[in-house]
Amino acid sequence: MASADSIKREQALWMLRRMRVVRQLSERIVELYPTDVMETPVHLCMGQEAVSAGLCCHLTDDDVMLLGHRTHGPALSKGLPLEKLVAELYGRTTGCSKARGGSMHVFDMEHGLPGSSAIVGGSIAVGVGAALSAKMRDDGTISVSYFGDAATNAGVFYESLNFAALKKLPVLFVCENNGLSNVMPQQEHSAYEILGIASQFMPTYRADGTDALSVFSQAGAAVSHVRETGRPAFLECKTKRWMKHQGHEADDLDINPVDRQKDCPIAKLEAFVQVSGMANARELRAIRDEVEQEINAAIEFAEKSPYPQPKAQEV
């Protein structure tokens, strides 16, 4: 079972609620996606929820986070309102990108989400640019470039680490490493250890990405380093993808066997909060039920929202 030295009750329950939102929304997408109500590809985060929840516990709305294509978990953990994401999945004008983006292109400046990219590795350098801007403003905010293991194959990854280290920029690189690039295992797409590369440029941190408390602790140290020194750091979180790369079906790859009990980040955190006396079974059921109501409300909001008109010019 997970353990953590210094986590407070409200932080543990905050992470649990964020993970439940991501999980329960994913479960609803699994049910609804085959009915074609959603106007977008989806890359689900089931099994990977702990990474963004443990990280975002240490970020403020003013810190920015740049995402790749697997956006639901990190965007919701960073604060994107649920109904704005669901409306975007439904292709409605009330969506976070006004129906122009779909699930791979989410924006919400109020919560520090200036953009995401469907091009693998495409937003890593943008996060570095945001850090340069934070340094010039000197306002104490930091930037996070959030990407998968395969994004480290891109040339821009190395340029970004080099530039961030050379110019001493307040950026945290976070690799959500599920060990897969679509159906290709990491050892077939990379001839290196990711932290072996990163450690040549900056301090590195490693967390168990199936354990919110491990991420909480390592992300806390990494974020403090970036905030206090104004210099970059790198966090790798090894995790497990439960679903196929894209779409609503469960993964069936021999190279990615998943034990949904043992590898479940929500079950691990729920066990911890109960054993440590932070919450009892009734309170955990209440969180699950409240999240279910929020998802129902978000779906209703999306269903009632208008589709964009072909001639609309407003951006």
Ligand X SMILES: Cc1ncc(C[n+]2csc(CCOP(=O)(O)OP(=O)(O)O)c2C)c(N)n1
Which residues of this chain interact with ligand X, rule CB under 6 A? 69-70, 118-120, 148-151, 178, 180-182, 245
Pseudo-torsion of CA 186, 191, 192, 198, nearest 10°?
A: -90
Q: Which does 57 bind (CB under 5 to 8 A by kind): Mg ion, ligand X, none?
A: none
Nearer to Mg ion, 178 or 218 (CB): 178
List the single partner that 182 binds among ligand X, Mg ion, none, CB under 5 to 8 Å by kind: ligand X
129 or 148: whose CB is closer to Mg ion? 148
Q: What order of strands is seen across the sheet that includes strand 115-116?
A: 115-116, 64-67, 143-148, 171-177, 233-238, 204-208
Please report how close the Cβ of residue 242 comes to ligand X at its closest, in angstroms.
12
Nearest alpha-carbon partner for 265 in 222, 221, 215, 219: 215
Q: How far apart are CA 93 and CA 82, in angstroms?
A: 15
Give the whole-angstrom CA distance, residue 141 versus residue 124.
17
Minimum CB–partner distance for residue 151 and ligand X (Å)? 4
The binder of 245, among Mg ion, ligand X, none, by C-beta within 5 to 8 A per type, is ligand X
Q: Which of the listed partners (ligand X, Mg ion, none) does 118 bind, with a CB threshold of 5 to 8 Å by partner kind?
A: ligand X
Should residue 149 be labelled a site residue for Mg ion when binding is judged by CB under 5 A? yes
* Residue 119 touches which of ligand X, Mg ion, none (Cβ within 5-8 Å per kind): ligand X
**The pair of three-digit structure tokens given for residue 85, joined into one six-digit string:** 């994401």
Choose the contact partner of 266 out of Mg ion, ligand X, none; CB within 5 to 8 A by kind. Answer: none
Give the end-to-end CA distance of the chain in Å, rounded to a whole number.
48
Contacting residue, 47, 112, 148, 209, with Mg ion by CB under 5 A = 148
Nearest CA among 218, 161, 166 for reference residue 192: 161
180 binds Mg ion (CB under 5 A): yes
CB-closest chain residue to Mg ion? 148
The reply to whether 237 sits near Mg ion by the rule CB under 5 A is: no
Joined tokens for residue 42: 């989806």
Indicate the residue among 149 and 270 with the shorter CB distance to ligand X: 149
251, two tokens: 């993964």
Residue 151 interacts with Mg ion (CB under 5 A)? no
